[in-house]
Amino acid sequence: MALVFWFGMALLLFVLLPAKSDDIPAGAHSTECHDCYFVMAVDVSFTGEELHFEAVDETGVYPITQKYSAECGYTVSVLPLTGQVELRASYFSCHTDNKDDEVFTFNFNLISNHEGKEVTYAVNKTCTHSLPWSPREVTCENNYMEVSVRSEVACPSGEMSDDWHAENPNKASAASDWQVMFHRADEQLKPMNLSVARKQGYLFDLTDRRIVFRTAYGQPHSSSLEVNGVPVEVIHATLFSRQSWVFIIVDLVASCSMHEGSYDSGYMVWETPDLLNPLVSGLTNTQVNIGVGGELVQQPAAEESGFIVEKHDGKVEISIPYNAEGGYRKSFVSGGLHEFYVFNLYLEQIFVNKDLEETRLRFHRTLATPMLPLQVFTVNQTVVEEHTFTVYLGDVPEDIELSAVELNGHKCIAPFKNTSGHTVIEVFYPNNTHGYTLKVPFDDPVVIKKFSKEDEAMKHILEVNYTLTVLPENEPFFHLASVMALSDITPPEFDAVCSESGIIFKLDHRPFDYLWHISIGSDLLTPELATQHGYIMTNDSQSLLLEVPLFTHGYEYKDICLKGFTGTFEILVKDRETSEVLSSAVKTCQFTASEFIVCSTDGKMTVVADLSLASPSGEIPARSNLLNMYCGPKDADDTRALFSFPLNSCGSTVKLVKERVTYQNEIFYSKRHFSESKAASEPTTERLIVQCMYPLAGLHRLFSVYKFEADTAGVGKIIRTSQSTAESQQTTTVKPTTETTPAAKRTTRALAVFKPAFHPTALYIRVYPFQKHLSMIKGLKGASQTKLNPAQI
Ligand SMILES: *[C@@H]1O[C@H](CO)[C@@H](O)[C@H](O)[C@H]1NC(C)=O
Ligand SMILES: *[C@@H]1O[C@H](CO)[C@@H](O)[C@H](O)[C@H]1NC(C)=O
Ligand SMILES: *[C@@H]1O[C@H](CO)[C@@H](O)[C@H](O)[C@H]1NC(C)=O
Ligand SMILES: *[C@@H]1O[C@H](CO)[C@@H](O)[C@H](O)[C@H]1NC(C)=O
Ligand SMILES: *[C@@H]1O[C@H](CO)[C@@H](O)[C@H](O)[C@H]1NC(C)=O
Ligand SMILES: *[C@@H]1O[C@H](CO)[C@@H](O)[C@H](O)[C@H]1NC(C)=O
Ligand SMILES: *[C@@H]1O[C@H](CO)[C@@H](O)[C@H](O)[C@H]1NC(C)=O
């Protein structure tokens, strides 16, 4: 369909105008003389798309229409691929001034339409025929067949000559009776006189020494045959005249291969029979000359330029390389990207008969390949070390340009600017292709980044959607490319050190840190979270320092014994997009403390209590016990006892206050009083209150599956009764499920000794043996004012 359009443009319109001629600027057109025809080429860009020709001679101005050009020996071709219109005129064309069949002068008007304004340019050219004419010359033009034969007809009388120009009524003469008889296959058709033949589109002419016959293709008197497998159109006319006692017969035959050409692996193949006329034998084909770039060259020279000439099975087969000089290509979008090639083949075959009389047969053929799939390609030229994607798009034909690229869906339209970080650089090659190099840095916002756990590297992904535009139609075509690169960016690794009071994590910032999230459990680490949990965070441009004090949220305690315990804290590094945990920094430190309490998530209270603190001497830690007197310490030394028991056992009480569940027990221990007055006194009983508090919301499993499993560790407290007052609390007492009644009485007593000033939130823990009891209380007050949950002293 496209081809029909291109070649259909040869149909030209005509508007007759008063002759007013301008000069065509040099360079916009060229006129050349060839072996038997004249060529004028004009740039369409100069003339505009609407353009036509007129032939001019002394008798008038003759518009060259499609029909007229075939009858009179003119050929107009539009070469859209070069942007030119070409006019070829046979030396024997109707309005050529012919001097002795040697010097031919052409006068043309070229009429162009500039924005509705007609402009006429007059062109003239004189050509000299340098070669001697062969006895018979046949031309198979794109639009007509022409035969000229050497005429032995002496032409003394004016009347006879007049008869040839019978279309001119003034010159009509009845003195002679030239008739023409056409032959079709074996059939002889009814003879007609020349003026009738002319009306039917057959033109006969008599020049100085030659008789010329011309006809368009597909006329009623021609026949289409197949000769040696090649379609051929043959026109065979016999001219005869009786003049006085002489009877003259001239046989005129033109036989033209109508082969349309076929495309085969890079070659356009065209065929013609190896004989001039299927009806006439005795001629041998001696030579094939091929027009390369407009000039005929002999077979060996043509073969050097890549043409292949083969004679077999009674035909000559010409193979034209797809990139032959004088060929044109065009890209096309139709389903996918395609291209086709157009060749203007000019071919000459020379035949001789046994008397060595020459016949030259010339072909002008415009051949087009079918739509051929066209491939552009992309290569991944990424060098990971450059941290930049480099994608090369190559083999882009010259009539295709890159008009936009879409990078992961972000569109950039030509002309491409360097400002946005990515660049597009165009490269041109001598083989009329060009390419584009696209560079996109890995850290460009358009690049998709994903951490790949199995590769232990950062995966950068770039999907490119190229918009290629075929010119001049501006038809878009999309080419996709996808590149991926792994860069050995690993998730950050924290340095962690133990301190006396906690763990210190340190992270040096790197340029890729925007790729991760740092979190504690499920919480994203932010300055707000740090403040809320009592972490001390310092974040500057160089590094992030996170100090996690002991007993703050997130710790896990193990190996609790009188000597101390281990505390473990974990920081998670997560993928920013998927929240997948990529790595973690886990640090376990050994801590020592003379007194502490740990409330585990699985419902265990573990206490190390210093029983010497209340009274400096005389206590017996090993003999201490809980509310349930059968619950004794797991371990003890001279001053301290270690208890570890399920929260709701050993006589613990449970209270619900303000959405918090508090498990409470007491440590009883005997104390001997040594006084000067009494040698020995009865041992008195002292006690410590121990508490674990859990937010009620975190204990949902307790109410669904009756299993203690807190979301977070509880907050523990050790309260010394010596500081308590008798003030009572507004509390609800919940009986522990497994506890027995004797505890209830003592619970009530225990409640009575709370001191409200530091009750609500503070964690009461003795971490440092050197710290004084009172200073701890001060710290706790401050913490409770800022509504903090656990506070460390
Ligand atoms: C041919 O054209 C030239 C200029 O291009 C002009 O000088 C000359 O007169 C023309 N000849 C004829 C016969 O029109
Ligand atoms: C040609 O033949 C036609 C019809 O046969 C006739 O009318 C016409 O006059 C003839 N012309 C000449 C020039 O003989
Ligand atoms: C973009 O940068 C490249 C090299 O970095 C340069 O060759 C090209 O001319 C620049 N293009 C524009 C439009 O500035
Ligand atoms: C054109 O030339 C370039 C550079 O030499 C080459 O990479 C490319 O393959 C060539 N393309 C074609 C279609 O020949
Ligand atoms: C490529 O871009 C064009 C135009 O934006 C769009 O129509 C087409 O769907 C895109 N192709 C793909 C595979 O995304
Ligand atoms: C592209 O090139 C990079 C770097 O050489 C390589 O890692 C990657 O696997 C290549 N392939 C694709 C499809 O991106
Ligand atoms: C630390 O500061 C950097 C900027 O300097 C910021 O990108 C990063 O998110 C901060 N980290 C935290 C945990 O707030």
Which one of 385, 388, 484, 486 would you pick to mutate in the ligand 6 pocket, going by the greatest count of ligand atoms within 8 A of its CB?
484
| DSSP annotation of 355 | T
Task: Using the mean position of ligand 4's atoms as its centre, give its distance from the Cα of residue 431 in Å.
Answer: 6
For residue 413 and ligand 2, the question of a CB distance below 6 A is answered with no
Give the atom of ligand 3 at the shortest distance from the alpha carbon of 418: 1
CB 747 within 8 Å of CB 655: no
For residue 395 and ligand 4, the question of a CB distance below 6 A is answered with yes
Confidence at residue 293, expressed as pLDDT on a 0 to 100 scale: 61
For residue 483 and ligand 6, the question of a CB distance below 6 A is answered with yes
CA distance 318 to 310: 7
701-738: string of b/e by CB count within 10 Å (b at 16+)?
ebeeeeebebeebbbbbbbbbeebeeeeeebeeeebee
Which one of 433, 434, 436 would you pick to mutate in the ligand 4 pocket, going by the greatest count of ligand atoms within 8 A of its CB?
433
Tokens of residue 410, six digits: 């972000």
pLDDT bucket at 59, cuts 50 / 70 / 90: very high
| DSSP annotation of 638 | S
Confidence at residue 47, expressed as pLDDT on a 0 to 100 scale: 67
Residue nearest to atom 1 of ligand 5 (CA): 465
Which carries the bigger pLDDT value, residue 616 or residue 453? 453
For residue 465 and ligand 5, the question of a CB distance below 6 A is answered with yes
| Residue 608 in this model has a pLDDT that exceeds 70 | yes
Residue nearest to atom 6 of ligand 3 (CA): 425
For residue 175 and ligand 2, the question of a CB distance below 6 A is answered with no
Confidence at residue 671, expressed as pLDDT on a 0 to 100 scale: 63
Q: How far is CA 742 from CA 284, 651, 683, 739, in A?
A: 135, 8, 23, 9
Confidence at residue 668, expressed as pLDDT on a 0 to 100 scale: 85
Beta bridge partners of 661: 656, 694
Task: Using the mean position of ligand 1's atoms as its centre, give its distance from the Cα of residue 107 in Å.
Answer: 9
Confidence at residue 677, expressed as pLDDT on a 0 to 100 scale: 46
Distance separating the N- and C-terminal Cα atoms of the chain: 89
Residue nearest to atom 12 of ligand 1 (CA): 124
Give the range among 294-298, 405-409, 432-436, 602-606 with minimum mean pLDDT. Answer: 294-298
CA distance 290 to 268: 14
For residue 15 and ligand 5, the question of a CB distance below 6 A is answered with no
One-letter amino acid at 710 equals A
For residue 228 and ligand 3, the question of a CB distance below 6 A is answered with no
CA distance 505 to 237: 107
| Residue 363 in this model has a pLDDT that exceeds 90 | yes
Radius of gyration (Cα) for the chain, nearest Å? 54
Q: Which ligand is nearest to the CA of 56?
A: 1
Confidence at residue 488, expressed as pLDDT on a 0 to 100 scale: 75
Beta bridge partners of 480: 465
Confidence at residue 493, expressed as pLDDT on a 0 to 100 scale: 84
- Of 597, 581, 626, the C-alpha closest to 717 is 597
Give the range among 404-408, 626-630, 712-716, 785-789 with minimum mean pLDDT. Answer: 785-789
Confidence at residue 749, expressed as pLDDT on a 0 to 100 scale: 29
| Residue 275 in this model has a pLDDT that exceeds 60 | yes
What's the whole-number average pLDDT of the chain?
Answer: 79
| DSSP annotation of 512 | T
Q: Is the pTM value of this prediction over 0.75?
A: no
For residue 124 and ligand 1, the question of a CB distance below 6 A is answered with yes
For residue 478 and ligand 5, the question of a CB distance below 6 A is answered with yes
370-404: string of b/e by CB count within 10 Å (b at 16+)?
ebeebebebeeebeeeebbbbbbbbebbebbbbeb
Confidence at residue 33, expressed as pLDDT on a 0 to 100 scale: 92
Mean pLDDT value of segment 500-523? 86
pLDDT bucket at 601, cuts 50 / 70 / 90: confident
CA distance 395 to 434: 6
Look at the block and give the residue holding tokens 């279309």: 167
Mean pLDDT value of segment 74-103? 89
pLDDT bucket at 407, cuts 50 / 70 / 90: very high
pLDDT bucket at 479, cuts 50 / 70 / 90: very high
Residue nearest to atom 8 of ligand 4 (CA): 395
pLDDT bucket at 7, cuts 50 / 70 / 90: very low
Confidence at residue 473, expressed as pLDDT on a 0 to 100 scale: 84
> What is the distance of C-alpha 310 from the center of its chain?
45
Q: How far is CA 516 from CA 231, 452, 461, in A?
A: 74, 13, 17
CA distance 719 to 30: 112
Beta bridge partners of 317: 271, 310
Between the ranges 73-77, 175-179, 677-681, where is the mean pLDDT highest?
73-77
| Residue 145 in this model has a pLDDT that exceeds 80 | yes
pLDDT bucket at 202, cuts 50 / 70 / 90: very high
Give the range among 47-56, 142-151, 442-451, 748-757 with minimum mean pLDDT. Answer: 748-757
> Which residues of 80-222 form beta strands (DSSP E)?
84-90, 97-99, 103-114, 117-128, 136-140, 144-150, 179-184, 187-188, 192-193, 203-206, 210-216
Confidence at residue 747, expressed as pLDDT on a 0 to 100 scale: 30
Give the range among 137-141, 679-683, 756-760 with minimum mean pLDDT. Answer: 756-760
For residue 166 and ligand 2, the question of a CB distance below 6 A is answered with yes
pLDDT bucket at 616, cuts 50 / 70 / 90: low
Dihedral of CA atoms 763, 765, 771, 773 in degrees, nearest 10, equals 70
Look at the block and give the residue holding tokens 């972490």: 535
Which carries the bigger pLDDT value, residue 186 or residue 786? 186
Confidence at residue 572, expressed as pLDDT on a 0 to 100 scale: 92
User: In a 10 Å sphere around its CB, with 0-12 CB exposed, 13-18 middle and 19+ buried, how is residue 550 labelled?
Assistant: buried
Q: Which ligand is nearest to the CA of 421?
A: 3
Mean pLDDT value of segment 498-507? 92
Confidence at residue 645, expressed as pLDDT on a 0 to 100 scale: 92
Taking only the tens place, the pLDDT of each residue in 317-362 is 999 988 787 778 888 898 889 988 888 889 999 888 878 888 899 9
One-letter amino acid at 381 equals Q
For residue 194 and ligand 2, the question of a CB distance below 6 A is answered with no
Task: Using the mean position of ligand 3's atoms as its centre, give its distance from the Cα of residue 420 in Å.
Answer: 12
For residue 463 and ligand 5, the question of a CB distance below 6 A is answered with no
User: In a 10 Å sphere around its CB, with 0-12 CB exposed, 13-18 middle and 19+ buried, how is residue 780 labelled?
Assistant: buried
Q: Which ligand is nearest to the CA of 479?
A: 5
User: In a 10 Å sphere around its CB, with 0-12 CB exposed, 13-18 middle and 19+ buried, how is residue 602 labelled?
Assistant: exposed
Q: What whole-number percentage of the chain has pLDDT above 90?
A: 33
Confidence at residue 165, expressed as pLDDT on a 0 to 100 scale: 56
Confidence at residue 400, expressed as pLDDT on a 0 to 100 scale: 93
Task: Using the mean position of ligand 2's atoms as its centre, give its distance from the Cα of residue 213 in Å.
Answer: 19
CB 697 within 8 Å of CB 761: no
Helix (H, G, I), strand (E, B) or coil at 371: coil
Confidence at residue 676, expressed as pLDDT on a 0 to 100 scale: 46
Task: Using the mean position of ligand 2's atoms as its centre, give its distance from the Cα of residue 251 in Å.
Answer: 22
For residue 487 and ligand 5, the question of a CB distance below 6 A is answered with no
CA distance 41 to 76: 10
Work out whether strand 117-128 and strand 21-22 pair parallel, antiparallel, or are unpaired: parallel
CB 717 within 8 Å of CB 599: no
Which one of 58, 124, 126, 127 would you pick to mutate in the ligand 1 pocket, going by the greatest count of ligand atoms within 8 A of its CB?
124
Look at the block and give the residue holding tokens 């160089």: 542
Confidence at residue 279, expressed as pLDDT on a 0 to 100 scale: 59
| Residue 729 in this model has a pLDDT that exceeds 80 | no
Taking only the tens place, the pLDDT of each residue in 772-781 is 333 333 333 3
Give the atom of ligand 5 at the shortest distance from the alpha carbon of 478: 1
For 761, phi then psi, to 5°, come to -125, -20
Q: What whole-number percentage of the chain has pLDDT above 70?
A: 79
